[in-house]
Amino acid sequence: GFVIYDSEGKIIKSLLDRPGKKCNEFDQPCFALLDSALNIYLYDTGNLAIKKLNFDLQLKKAITMDGSSTIFGPQFVINENSEKPYLVATIQNASSLKIYSLDWKKCLIIRFGEEGLPRFLMPTAITQDKNGVLYIISPQEKMVIKVKLPEKIF
């Protein structure tokens, strides 16, 4: 399940009562981020989707992800400092990154081994610094790579 606690440890929001495979249901949610507007981006492992919810846990959008597993993700970061904010997700079985505009109308795929990036078999964990530079780990290669995305993605 997915639970939001207040600063005193009390449950204020919960998805524990919505298991399943339908659009507004969840099957093994395992990774979540908040944006500055308090939208929640939640990876729903069993449904192979990243779901965008408002803070009242109402589904706003969902996108199906390929190449996923409970252990490795995909993991994702949100860059709101860009002229057009975006979400970057690691797609481990496809050796790629998917970059989505936050309205989810546009998508860019970057494949490792192309576009000047090293070959990466299974990109998993991802983080970014304050300048939007990505740091991605691949446990199979036992390495971390640094990826500077272009100033304008979309």
- Write out pLDDT tens, residues 45-54: 778 888 999 9
pLDDT for 143? 84
Nearest partner of 138 among 120, 114, 113, 115, judged by Cα = 120
The percentage of residues in the chain with a pLDDT greater than 90, rounded to a whole number, is: 24
Which among 106, 98, 108 has a CA at the least distance from the CA of 66?
Answer: 98
Q: Which of 93, 31, 44 is nearest to 67 (CA)?
A: 93
User: How wide is the angle at C-alpha 100 spanned by C-alphas 29 and 134, nearest 5°?
Assistant: 85
pLDDT (tens digit per residue) in 62-74 = 888 765 555 556 7
pLDDT at 121: 67
Residue 26 backbone class (left: φ over 0; alpha: ψ -120 to 50; beta: rest): beta
Asked if residues 92 and 74 have their Cβ atoms less than 8 Å apart, the reply is: yes
Confidence of residue 152 (pLDDT cuts 50, 70, 90): confident
Q: What is the pLDDT of residue 60?
A: 92
